[in-house]
């Protein structure tokens, strides 16, 4: 709960404020370009104001109080978390209006949820099962503070969420009839459609989901169950989703960072000023004995591996590529006719999937240009 109170800035603390300090950190190190971060946050805030859709950014990626505070200062209405541990960290940092986007079902974690509800303003959790609704009500009992809930609707991800409108309506009715719970609305997240490469394809695959939700919302209005909140969307689809007029708020969480996967997909009109990469991993060359190939000290423990390789972010090594070579090693292949890299030098990489990559680190090394300006904790890591 008090992780940040005892935060150890680590072996690079002495480089803060040193001109050129960015380029020779103790590595592997997670590097955050705070100017790019702030521009990305401002861009999303402008988009939200323009479209009238709220932003309640997901923090399962950033896991950072400093970043969430910047998002809230820019207009975000709260924050999303996946786990009860992440929510505890956010609440302990003074963040209100937390939405937990995955059901909390087991007795010890329900107990933590209800304790958090007593101390936190505006807490909401999703539910997708009547057994969970009844268990929450039973645990709150006659004297507990009512808990805000959203009913999660499965829109094809096949993971959590209620399948079928009749079942959604039935579960909402159960929530409405449960005095320990406050019905706040619905959640519908199609995470599996966030990385469709072109805008046209994304519109095509999300259109049936929008239609499904529009029909559900119509029925809920007709039955007197109109939701105050309809939440969902992500960094891949929020631009096209906004036009549909279905969502009252967006949960996008990767836009502050723009990992390799999100940089590679085509952006929509909202991107007229350009979301830009802000997150990098810095590694050190530990072997430079072969022409056109060096080994760096960053492998499975420094990059998420499920979404393809990181991208070499050195303009002086055009076309260089990275391959995983074990827990703590990777290989960088480059054209020695176009650039050189020396033993002991550092190389930065645009990260693959940002959420599980950030989850490997305890600290953000915040940079402006070539200067390390601050070190922030990854507050929610491991929670």
Chain residues in the site for a copy of itself (CB under 8 A): 6, 11-12, 15, 24-27, 60, 82-85, 102-103, 105-109, 112, 128-129, 131-132, 135, 157-163, 191, 284-290, 295, 297, 300-301, 304-306, 324-329, 331, 343-344, 346, 353, 355-356, 359-362, 382
In the complex, least distance from residue 3 CB atom to a copy of itself, rounded to whole angstroms: 8
Would you say 47 or 255 has its CB closer to a copy of itself? 255
In the complex, least distance from residue 127 CB atom to a copy of itself, rounded to whole angstroms: 11
In the complex, least distance from residue 42 CB atom to a copy of itself, rounded to whole angstroms: 26
Evaluate whether 207 touches 251 at the Cβ level (below 8 Å).
no
Upstream peptide bond of 28 is cis (omega within 30 degrees of 0): yes
| Secondary structure of residue 317 in the 3-state scheme | coil
In the complex, least distance from residue 235 CB atom to a copy of itself, rounded to whole angstroms: 13
d(C-alpha 363, C-alpha 331), whole Å:
24
Would you say 10 or 144 has its CB closer to a copy of itself? 10
In the complex, least distance from residue 110 CB atom to a copy of itself, rounded to whole angstroms: 9
Would you say 12 or 248 has its CB closer to a copy of itself? 12
Would you say 248 or 284 has its CB closer to a copy of itself? 284
Question: Which residue shows structure tokens 């609440």?
Answer: 91
Would you say 110 or 225 has its CB closer to a copy of itself? 110
In the complex, least distance from residue 262 CB atom to a copy of itself, rounded to whole angstroms: 14
Q: Is 270 left (phi over 0), alpha (psi -120 to 50) or beta?
A: alpha
Question: Which residue shows structure tokens 């107990």?
Answer: 111
In the complex, least distance from residue 272 CB atom to a copy of itself, rounded to whole angstroms: 29
d(C-alpha 230, C-alpha 87), whole Å:
20
In sequence order, what E strands does the chain have?
A: 29-33, 54-55, 79-81, 98-100, 124-127, 147-152, 181-188, 229-232, 249-250, 279-290, 293-296, 311-312, 321-324, 330-333, 346-350, 363-368, 371-377
User: How many other C-beta atoms can be found within 10 angstroms of the C-beta atom of residue 14?
Assistant: 11
Evaluate whether 99 touches 186 at the Cβ level (below 8 Å).
no
Would you say 68 or 242 has its CB closer to a copy of itself? 68
Q: Which of 90, 124, 125, 77 is nearest to 104 (CA)?
A: 125
d(C-alpha 58, C-alpha 81), whole Å:
6
């Amino acid at each position: 709960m008090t992780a940040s109170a005892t935060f150890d800035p680590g072996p690079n603390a002495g480089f803060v404020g040193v001109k050129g300090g960015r380029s020779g950190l103790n590595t592997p190190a997670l590097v955050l370009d705070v100017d790019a971060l702030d521009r990305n946050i401002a861009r999303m805030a402008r988009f939200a104001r323009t479209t009238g859709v709220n932003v309640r950014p997901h923090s399962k990626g950033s896991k950072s109080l400093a970043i969430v505070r910047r998002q809230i200062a820019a207009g975000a209405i709260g924050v999303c978390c996946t786990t009860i541990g992440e929510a505890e960290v956010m609440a302990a940092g003074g963040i209100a209006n937390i939405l937990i986007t995955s059901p909390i079902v087991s007795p010890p974690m329900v107990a933590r949820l209800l304790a958090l509800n007593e101390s936190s303003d505006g807490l909401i959790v999703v539910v997708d099962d009547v057994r969970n609704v009844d268990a929450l009500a039973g645990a709150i009992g006659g004297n507990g503070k009512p808990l805000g809930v959203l009913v999660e609707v499965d829109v094809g991800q096949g993971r959590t969420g209620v399948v079928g409108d009749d079942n959604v309506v039935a579960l909402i009715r159960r929530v409405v009839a449960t005095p320990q719970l406050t019905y706040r609305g619905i959640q519908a997240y199609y995470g599996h459609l966030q990385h469709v490469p072109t805008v046209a394809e994304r519109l095509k695959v999300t259109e049936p989901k929008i239609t499904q939700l529009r029909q559900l919302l119509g029925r809920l209005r007709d039955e007197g169950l109109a939701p105050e909140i309809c939440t969902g969307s992500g960094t891949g689809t929020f631009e096209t989703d906004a036009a549909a007029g279905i969502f009252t708020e967006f949960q996008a969480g990767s836009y502050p960072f723009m990992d390799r996967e999100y940089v590679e997909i085509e952006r929509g009109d909202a991107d007229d000023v350009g979301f830009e990469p802000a997150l990098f991993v810095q590694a050190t060359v530990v072997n430079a004995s072969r022409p056109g190939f060096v080994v760096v000290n960053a492998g499975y423990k420094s990059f998420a591996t499920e979404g393809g390789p990181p991208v070499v972010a050195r303009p002086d090594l055009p076309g260089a590529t990275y391959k995983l070579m074990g827990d703590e090693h990777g290989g960088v292949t480059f054209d020695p006719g176009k650039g050189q890299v020396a033993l002991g030098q550092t190389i930065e990489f645009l990260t693959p999937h940002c959420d599980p990559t950030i989850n490997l680190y305890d600290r953000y090394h915040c940079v402006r240009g070539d200067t390390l300006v601050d070190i922030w904790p990854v507050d929610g890591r491991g929670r």
